[in-house]
């Protein structure tokens, strides 16, 4: 399942050069991952109540072009890989108007408890959801 949402570029998202500041993309990607989890039935507060936190362990991001003030961008998020211990989100941010891709990224998350102890496997129910998403990709 590919989760999508739109975001307007505001002045606070831009840098001194008049383009979107690189950190704004990271914030939008975080929003995409949070919304993805909610779309499969689990908010971050529900996961925290189950003693599951999902920190990012690595990000590989490619900046391809720059969004500008008042553009509307589309943030796409999907699970691209699940290895038990880690899950990888594939994320793309692109122009709503032109389809021009601004960034692509692979974001790897792990699961820890509230004390910061790493789970050796992402706990249920997320593990089953991630496995299902990998085995049943969205139709083209």
Active site residue: 15, 51, 71, 106, which one?
Answer: 15
Provide the b/e sequence for 13-35 (b: ≥16 CB within 10 Å). bbeeeebbeeebbbebbeebbee
Distances from the Cα of 108 to the Cαs of 9, 89, 100, in angstroms? Answer: 26, 6, 24
Q: Would you call 108 helix, strand, or coil by DSSP?
A: strand
Is 15 a known active-site residue?
Answer: yes
- Residues marked active site are found at 15
């Amino acid at each position: 399942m590919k989760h999508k949402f739109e975001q307007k570029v505001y002045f606070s998202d831009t840098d001194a050069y008049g383009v979107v500041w690189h950190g704004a993309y990271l914030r939008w990607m975080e929003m995409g991952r949070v919304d993805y989890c909610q779309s499969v039935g689990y908010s971050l507060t529900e996961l925290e109540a189950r003693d599951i936190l999902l920190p990012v362990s690595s990000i590989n991001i490619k900046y391809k072009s720059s969004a500008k003030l008042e553009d509307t961008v589309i943030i796409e998020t999907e699970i691209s890989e699940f290895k038990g211990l880690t899950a990888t989100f594939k994320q793309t941010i692109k122009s709503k108007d032109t389809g021009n891709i601004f960034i692509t990224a692979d974001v790897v998350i792990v699961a820890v408890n509230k004390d910061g102890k790493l789970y050796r496997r992402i706990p249920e129910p997320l593990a089953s959801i991630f496995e299902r998403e990998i085995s049943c990709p969205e139709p083209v």
